[in-house]
A and B are shown apart, each in its own frame.
Chain A
Amino acid sequence: MDPLTIAIIVAVFTLIVLFSGIPIAFGLSFVSITLLVTFEGLQMLGVFAETFYAGLNSFVLLSIPMFILMGMAVAHSPAGKDLYTGLDRWLWRVPGGLVISNIGACSIFAALSGSSPATCAAIGTMGIPEMRKRGYSDEIATGTIAAGGTLGVLIPPSIVLIVYGMATGTSIGRLFLSGIIPGFMLASLFAVWALIHSYFIDKNASKLLRNRKPPTLKEKFEVLPRIFPFLAIIVGVLYVLYGGVATPSEASGVGAFLVFVMIAVVYKIYQPKKIWNIVKISMKESVMIMFIIAASYLFAFTLSQLYVTQSLAQSMIELSSNKWMIFLMVNVFLLVAGFFLPPVAVIVMTSAILLPVITTLGFDPYWFAIVFTINMEIGLITPPVGLNLYIIKGITPDVSLSTILKGSFPFMMMMVLSILILCIFPEIVSWLPDKLMGKPLGY
């Protein structure tokens, strides 16, 4: 059979299986096994357990549970609240200040956590009720957190970038450095939208602002020492990573340790019961992600066995002679894939297809990683598997999904805009790593 026909069969079959509500990790594995048996015969099954094992047997992947632990530990301390009350007290005069504070808190938290749902949950549990209480509309309150949470995967540390680095053999330290400036650029684009929204659309919010008692100077400075330890940890982890002290896996361990020390000292969280709870929740999240990674490896293996990967990459290059045309197609493809699959799965499955295409066309793989990640961020706040949407639905059960979507839509447009900006000025990505690490070899 023609590999492209197989590709279509695979896509349709996978979607049907996943839509049935089966856990994504098991659904993907089931699809891969079925495909292997139908197209290659029973003897292919012999390698499948080994593929499954090999997908997870990697030192680099160790950083994922560690970064999750780090994020969860911060999320379960009152730290998120401190972060954004601190920002709010300094930004009180700005219209939409609370919204901007939430975005800011999301981006600082993103620098401590590698996952997007964790960021969403940490800032959202405090931020959304507070914004609604102060009279912001449900749409902007939920939309901000949904979008702000996605910064978690762009601003380092980031699980998505770790998996990308592992799947494509690029340097994780460099990927992290590449993510910093685009991450803050995206955060400021979000803030710009929050400003526009409160100036022109939601007049109610600025009216509320005038009635508010301004915080005193003492209040302003009171919160600073509470924000400081976070910045210290961020700087510490960054130093360990880029000072050449340790690999990302080791740096993640250092970060998790520092966070535990910090919450014990600052917030007095050292009771075994609370620590156990944090470890339990982190385990749940990391097992879920790791299983999806293993299943995606199996799926990618199946695709390349069926020669789908190679022929798809080939036909993509042959389809058009204009490299931006192909790039546009790649983006649309990623966007659609991001709707249905979690980011890590998309990366493992498609990196073998896309990376040769991208490098053949002369794009920088680090730059592509960032564009890739922003695409995945859009997927995180769109149904049917928008993880952030479910988190927000969990925080505010009385707000309907369509309201959340309406609120997050302008932020999605901001993400598309940022992809456009990155296409026009690729230096935004490459400037910082080039400055700190020198130009990459071979590209």
Chain B
Amino acid sequence: MLLVASTFIGSAYVLSEKAHVSMEWIYDFLSKKNIIKLKIFTSFLSLIFFLILFYFAFLMVEEAFIKNYTTGTVWSPPLWIPYSSMLIGSILMILQYIAEIIKLFDEKDFK
């Protein structure tokens, strides 16, 4: 549970540090300008994914909150709390990706 929370909430920080693994092989064959173009494109793809995740995480939290779901354990905390970590995580990711895209547009080689 906590693991889910730390992964989702931590992910935006990891993105800002550029520590997510990717295949950067193709960058060797492209010019600087094209690399930035490609990066903007892939950032948009990820942004779309997190927007969708945000929407469905919201639905999950809402449902768990209204219907008062709890985890099936002895402690039995309400489920909307761990679920909302996904919501917060996706909000942070959306913000971070918007920031990344703005940063990419500002880069010197792009202009």
Interface residues of A (CB under 8 A from B): 17-27, 29-30, 33, 45-46, 48-50, 52-53, 56-58, 61-62, 65, 283-288, 290-292, 294, 340, 342, 383-385, 387
Return the contact of A29 from the options B49, B60, B82 (Cβ within 8 A). B49
Q: How far is the CB of A68 from chain B (nearest CB, A)?
A: 12
Return the contact of A57 from the options B3, B13, B42, B52 (Cβ within 8 A). B3
Q: How far is the CB of A92 from chain B (nearest CB, A)?
A: 38
Interface bits B21-54 vs A (CB < 8 Å: 1, else 0): 1111111000000000011011001101110110
User: Do most interface residues of chain A lie in helix, strand or loop, or is the interface mixed?
Assistant: helix
B3 A56 Cβ-Cβ under 8 A: yes
Beyond A49-B60, A65-B3, whether A342 also contacts B21 by CB under 8 A is: yes
A53 B60 Cβ-Cβ under 8 A: yes
**CB of B95 within 8 Å of the partner chain:** no
Q: Which residue of A lies closest to B90 (CB)?
A: A49
**CB of B77 within 8 Å of the partner chain:** no
B56 A46 Cβ-Cβ under 8 A: yes
**CB of B102 within 8 Å of the partner chain:** no
Q: Of A23, A30, A286, which is in contact with the most chain B CB atoms at under 10 Å from its CB? A: A23
Q: How far is the CB of A121 from chain B (nearest CB, A)?
A: 13
B22 A24 Cβ-Cβ under 8 A: yes
Beyond A45-B52, A50-B60, A385-B21, whether A19 also contacts B26 by CB under 8 A is: yes
A291 B20 Cβ-Cβ under 8 A: yes
A49 B3 Cβ-Cβ under 8 A: no
Return chain A residues, CB-CB under 8 Å to B7. 56, 286-287, 290-291, 294
Return chain A residues, CB-CB under 8 Å to B6. 65, 283, 287
A287 B83 Cβ-Cβ under 8 A: no
Interface residues of B (CB under 8 A from A): 1, 3-4, 6-7, 10-11, 13-15, 17, 19-27, 38-39, 41-42, 45-46, 48-50, 52-53, 56-57, 59-60, 82-83, 86
B46 A30 Cβ-Cβ under 8 A: yes
Q: Which residue of B lies closest to A54 (CB)?
A: B4
Q: Which residue of A lies closest to B4 (CB)?
A: A56
A21 B56 Cβ-Cβ under 8 A: no
Return chain B residues, CB-CB under 8 Å to A342. 21
What is the CA–CA distance of A30 and B49 in the complex, to the nearest angstrom? 6
B17 A291 Cβ-Cβ under 8 A: no
Jot down 14 A-B pairs with beta carbons below 8 A, ordered by A: A21-B27, A30-B49, A45-B52, A46-B56, A49-B59, A50-B60, A62-B3, A283-B6, A284-B13, A284-B14, A284-B19, A287-B19, A342-B21, A383-B25
B56 A48 Cβ-Cβ under 8 A: yes
B45 A287 Cβ-Cβ under 8 A: no
Beyond A45-B52, A284-B14, whether A25 also contacts B86 by CB under 8 A is: no
A21 B45 Cβ-Cβ under 8 A: no
B46 A26 Cβ-Cβ under 8 A: yes
B49 A287 Cβ-Cβ under 8 A: no
A23 B22 Cβ-Cβ under 8 A: yes
Return chain B residues, CB-CB under 8 Å to A52. 53, 86
Beyond A21-B24, A49-B59, A383-B25, whether A287 also contacts B42 by CB under 8 A is: no
Q: Of B1, B39, B49, which is in contact with the most chain A CB atoms at under 10 Å from its CB? A: B49
What is the CA–CA distance of A164 and B59 in the complex, to the nearest angstrom? 32
Task: Rank and list the top 6 A-B pairs by shortest CB-CB distance, nearest first.
Answer: A23-B20, A384-B25, A49-B56, A22-B42, A26-B46, A290-B7
Q: Which residue of A lies closest to B41 (CB)?
A: A20
What is the CA–CA distance of A48 and B57 in the complex, to the nearest angstrom? 9
Given contacts A19-B25, A24-B20, 5 further A-B contacts (CB under 8 A): A20-B26, A20-B41, A52-B53, A287-B7, A288-B20
What is the CA–CA distance of A49 and B52 in the complex, to the nearest angstrom? 9
B39 A49 Cβ-Cβ under 8 A: no
A53 B86 Cβ-Cβ under 8 A: yes
Q: How far is the CB of A36 from chain B (nearest CB, A)?
A: 11
B86 A23 Cβ-Cβ under 8 A: no
Return the contact of A287 from the options B11, B38, B86 (Cβ within 8 A). B11
B23 A385 Cβ-Cβ under 8 A: yes
Return chain A residues, CB-CB under 8 Å to B13. 283-284, 287
What is the CA–CA distance of A284 and B45 in the complex, to the nearest angstrom? 22
Q: Of B14, B26, B53, which is in contact with the most chain A CB atoms at under 10 Å from its CB? A: B14
Return chain B residues, CB-CB under 8 Å to A283. 6, 10, 13-14
Return the contact of A45 from the options B15, B25, B50, B56 (Cβ within 8 A). B56
Return chain B residues, CB-CB under 8 Å to A25. 20-21
A288 B14 Cβ-Cβ under 8 A: yes
What is the CA–CA distance of A291 and B50 in the complex, to the nearest angstrom? 13
Return chain A residues, CB-CB under 8 Å to B39. 21
What is the CA–CA distance of A288 and B16 in the complex, to the nearest angstrom? 12
Return chain B residues, CB-CB under 8 Å to A288. 14, 19-21
B22 A290 Cβ-Cβ under 8 A: no
